[in-house]
A = this chain, B = another copy of it.
Amino acid sequence: MIYAELISIGDELLIGQVVNTNAPWISRQLNKAGFAVKQITVVGDLEDEIINALDLARKRADIILITGGLGPTKDDLTKQVLCKYFNTHLVFDPQAYNDIENIFRARGREVTPTNRTQAELPASCIPVYNKNGTAPGMWFHADGKVFVSMPGVPYEMEAMMTDFVIPKLMQEFKSTPVIHKTILTQGIGESYLSDMIAEWENNLPEYMKLAYLPAAGMVRLRLTGMGESKNMENEMIIETGKLKKLIAPYIYGEEDETLAEIIGKLLRASGKTLATAESCTGGNIAHLITSVPGSSEYYVGSVVSYSNEIKKNELNVNADTLLRKGAVSEEVAIQMAEGVRKKYNVDFAISTTGIAGPDGGSEEKPVGTVWIAVADAEKTIAKKFLLGTNRMRVIQVASETALNQLRKLIIGQI
């Protein structure tokens, strides 16, 4: 097994101002590629501590991935420290400068002298170019070990890892063959899933391991097969097949797809269109849908109807229904979905109305009560969900649940 270590650099991590989400992201990518992470170290922007962390990490691992401390300002030391550590000096890199110019041009600005220095890279490193930011990464070899320094900005680091670092690591090291299969579920908690599949999980061969990866509103199940077994591919298919049978009603997809992407594919394939009417989710469903490139092909828009006036005036929700049943009710959810479907002249519609909290709950309708409706030309289906008391979680889970309800409607599962 080839081991890796992560070093995250930045005072902001040590005072707790920023949560280190880079480390788990990188760990997941390394795992998928067949490398194991031995240790994660967080140090401040201080030369001695960075050097000390590098010395210790190289004793334990073959791959050392470093993030952070590459900004143009003087509190960022990583590049200078690496120069010293690898006994080299800075040289101007025209391609890195070209990348920086492009970034500034796209933002309609001129490169500043401070940013020009970001194109200076240690002479002995292989540059890892950055299409999304001004700080290039650096790849060093020493004693048969690899050190890669990347920016701390997540989407800059993630693009470097995906496009360059992971493929090059797999080329340079013989990683242990690893196969992952990921099954995506929605609408069921981790512990219930665990009870449903306990027997299957206990009987898995020793070289297979299941991980539960919960997020707001969904749980991903990742089955990992590791080692040299000849039949691995085949055995993984068999075990994944068994798993899928056990939890079929909760599966919405496989591997890395999001619900918004799956819905996009279904709508595009059938040439159908979609609109949304959001109350408690407040535009988050629209945001998830429009985060998918090309969504304007099938998504026309949303009425975010936070006030009752807008529910009445724009979505044709009945004033009497609002009065008698309240805004958070089956009837209003149905009228909202049907209202936006007709108004925006689309094939499918989603609506949400609920109490995200922290205030507004009652005995009868506690915080976390959400009605979700999905509609097409033939039918409208509304369902009530109870989603807990954390406002952001209610919004997120309601949004993903609504997208899954639509997916089921499109494929005729409800």
> Which residues in A have some Cβ–Cβ distance to B below 8 Å?
11-21, 23-28, 31, 36-44, 49, 53, 56, 71-75, 103, 106-109, 112-115, 132, 134, 153, 155, 180, 189-192, 194-195, 201, 209-214, 220, 222, 224, 276, 278, 281-287, 289-291, 293-296, 299-307, 309-310, 314, 344-345, 356-359, 366-368, 386-393, 395
Contact = CB atoms under 8 A, between A and B. Distances in A.
Nearest to A26: B16
Q: Provide the main secondary structure of the chain A interface.
A: mixed
A159 to B, nearest CB: 9
B106 A389 contact: yes
Given A209-B75, A213-B17, A307 B303 contact: no
Contacts of A191: 72-73, 112, 114-115, 134
Nearest to A286: B283
A294 B211 contact: no
Given A18-B213, A42-B40, A287-B284, A368 B24 contact: no
Contact of A304 (B210, B212, B286): B286
A38 B28 contact: no
A163 B175 CA distance: 46
A23 B8 CA distance: 13
A296 B73 CA distance: 41
A309 B300 contact: yes
B212 A75 contact: yes
